[in-house]
Chain A
Amino acid sequence: AQSVTQLGSHVSVSEGALVLLRCNYSSSVPPYLFWYVQYPNQGLQLLLKYTSAATLVKGINGFEAEFKKSETSFHLTKPSAHMSDAAEYFCAVTTTGKLIFGQGTTLQVKP
């Protein structure tokens, strides 16, 4: 069975600072991993996905994530936070028919 754990339900950074949102997964077979973003009162939008082609994945809006098999992690980073990055971020994993989401991390960006 697969599962996802997002460490930290709330993360607060200053504008211009590094963003690091943590995601660890559990899977008995090679996983496919995703990061989604949800802005207030909106639906979910795909940021990026890992499908085994490359361990460092670049997504939209300057975000990227690195797949580390040894650490079973897929952390999301952005070098410099912008006020518009304030949202809820979800990590997700699939190996079969199920796409399972983590609990989400709310990113607050302070001016």
Chain B
Amino acid sequence: NAGVTQTPKFQVLKTGQSMTLQCAQDMNHEYMSWYRQDPGMGLRLIHYSVGAGITDQGEVPNGYNVSRSTTEDFPLRLLSAAPSQTSVYFCASRQQYNEQFFGPGTRLTVL
């Protein structure tokens, strides 16, 4: 099993550009989530999904969109990048109430 995979690992954007962070898992987990990690802020939940076709907002959803067309994939879209979105992004998956598995992270810089 590859677990949770994320691409790209590093990305530099200019303000106003859009992009999609890819996330996939091969563990047949129903729950998938996106977090951003910033120094002193811990991990903050952006969006999450409890199954294909079902998504909901987390703590900091503004400026991000998600969709969940399959159980395996959960892409995160930045609509118009801003410097405040410079962060490390983690995708994660789990079965309800069980251990959450994290991807390796994407380090995003917005200039």
Contacts and interface: CB of A to CB of B under 8 A. Distances in A.
B107 to A, nearest CB: 10
B102 A49 contact: no
A92 B41 CA distance: 13
A101 interface: yes
- For chain B, which range describes its interface: under 10, 10 to 19, 20 to 34, or 35 or more residues? 20 to 34
Interface stretch (B20-28, B70-78, B79-87, B93-101): B93-101
Interface in B31-82: 31, 33, 35, 40-45, 48-50, 56, 58-59
Interface string A31-49: 0101000000001101001
Contacts of B33: 98-99
Give the dominant DSSP class at A's interface.
strand
A98 B97 contact: no
A20 B70 CA distance: 42
A80 interface: no
B90 interface: yes
A44 B102 contact: yes
Given A43-B105, A49-B99, A98 B58 contact: yes
A102 B103 contact: no
A100 B41 contact: no
A92 B58 CA distance: 14
Contacts of B48: 97-99
Interface of A: 6, 9, 32, 34, 43-44, 46, 49, 51, 90, 92, 94, 97-104
Interface of B: 31, 33, 35, 40-45, 48-50, 56, 58-59, 90, 92, 94, 96-100, 102-105
